[in-house]
Amino acid sequence: MADRLDSSHGSTRALPRAADAPLRLSILGATGSIGTSTLDLVGRNPDKYEVVALTAQCNVDRLAELAITHRAKVAVVGDETHYEALKARLSGTGIRAAAGAAAIEAAAEEPADCIMAAIVGAAGLRPTFAAARQGSRVALANKECLVSAGEIFTQHVHQNGAELLPVDSEHSAAFQAIGRTPAKSIEKIILTASGGPFRTFDKERLGRVTPEEALKHPNWSMGAKVTIDSATLMNKGLELIEAFHLFPVGPHQLEAIVHPQSVVHCLVMLEDGSVMAQLSQPDMRTPIALALAWPERLATPVSRLDLITLKTLSFEAPDTDRFPALAIAIEALHRGGAAPAVLNAANEIAVTAFLEKKIGFLEIARTVAACLEKAEARGLLKGVDTLDGVLAVDEEARRMARLLLPV
């Protein structure tokens, strides 16, 4: 695919601003884990960034606080019932307040040099598409956009002349490791997974894990949804689908490997026998900094890697018997069409049900697999070629997944 990434793209595309002007930055999902890490870097480099729009879904207090601290031009809350509260918090600051899903899309279209797309889940699709429409840089954390609407989204980015920079640490690593390597020389891209908090648990123990235990990731500090996805290994499956749309490789050239230290983020194997890797501490500020500053680098306070103290970097094969979500996602990647969109929607419903203690940990993957089976039987996995089509599949898959849950 011509519009998939290699890191030479970023070095040739000029951003539409004077070299010494601050980068106009909007953050969709500003109150979340990625949003907060992004604003941490902005706060450390006030002369380099000018915050345009910040959005959240309902966390008005945090949104208002961030908007005031970073002197945003506009703050948007998705849930309209919070509009009056946001307006009151921002009164007298000169910051515009807005509310509703359409207002989030409008915020994504506010002129900016870079939009950090960090809304969690398929809710991020429309705003991320809107962000790409202005033809600037999209720093993509919302992996669901590529999972559910991969080809449509990459085409949309291409048609609008936007620039896509991955934020997920593994994809940021692959982007750097590939560099200018021609597609034909890439044999394999291997994404690493920490294995999550239950890497060593047997099935019986996995059946008893609680949301509280699952939310304690050993290496990364992330939002609830992606933390649960890391524990089931669904996250790695979603990332393989994401990688398929970002890089010029086929599904059979993508693999996942468990690496408990989360220091090597990705391995790219080349036809001459070289293996290119990127290493860093598991701190999202490193890949976020790259997505903001590329082709330059931004200094971060992330602690420096000390391999002598670390001593060991270990790797093992993922166990898809204990963690079937990874195999289900890989199957959806190979199946193509709307299978990844159904996978993602069913997974979002199942993860919410697990967090609400309606189903057990092992039921997450079972629900997703059952939903994909039902969708296949109903002919729902055929490819769709519009965003509205993807969102219709997403909605129907959510309905089907809910029916699979205990009442």
Ligand X SMILES: NC(=O)c1ccc[n+]([C@@H]2O[C@H](COP(=O)([O-])OP(=O)(O)OC[C@H]3O[C@@H](n4cnc5c(N)ncnc54)[C@H](OP(=O)(O)O)[C@@H]3O)[C@@H](O)[C@H]2O)c1
- Please give the residue ranges that form the binding site for ligand X (CB under 6 A): 29-35, 56-59, 78, 104, 118-120, 123, 141-144, 168, 220, 222-226, 284
Minimum CB–partner distance for residue 235 and ligand X (Å)? 7
Residue nearest to ligand X (CB): 32
- Minimal distance, residue 37 CB to ligand X, in Å: 7
- Residue 201 · residue 209 · CB < 8 Å: yes
- Comparison of 284 and 368: residue with beta carbon closer to ligand X: 284
If the CB atoms of residues 57 and 181 are measured against ligand X, the closer one turns out to be 57
Closest to 77 (Cα-Cα) out of 68, 90, 69, 86? 86
Residue 3: CB minimum distance to ligand X, A: 21
DSSP assignment string, 290-359: HHHHTTS-----PPPP-HHHH-----B---TTT-HHHHHHHHHHHH-TTHHHHHHHHHHHHHHHHHTTSS
Closest CA to 149 of 127, 178, 171: 127
- Could you tell me if 267 and 275 are in contact, meaning their C-beta atoms sit under 8 angstroms apart? yes
Q: Which is nearer to ligand X, 224 or 302 (CB)?
A: 224
Which helix (H) or strand (E) segment is 230 a member of? helix 224-232
Residues 6+ apart with CB under 8 A from 377: none
Token digits for 255? 């693999």
Q: Min. distance of Cβ 118 from ligand X in angstroms? A: 5
Least Cβ distance, residue 98 to ligand X (angstroms): 13
Beta-bridged to residue 51, according to DSSP, are: 25
Instruction: Pick between residue 181 and residue 244 the one whose CB is nearest to ligand X.
Output: 244
**Cβ 226 to ligand X, closest distance in Å?**
4
For residue 64, the minimal CB distance to ligand X (Å) is 11
Query: Closer CB to ligand X, residue 73 or residue 269?
Result: 73
CB atoms near residue 356 (< 10 Å): 10
Distance CA 301, CA 91 (A): 34
Among residues 181 and 230, whose Cβ is nearest to ligand X? 230
Q: Which is nearer to ligand X, 136 or 219 (CB)?
A: 219
Q: In angstroms, what CA-CA distances link 42 with 72, 220, 234, 293?
A: 12, 21, 31, 11
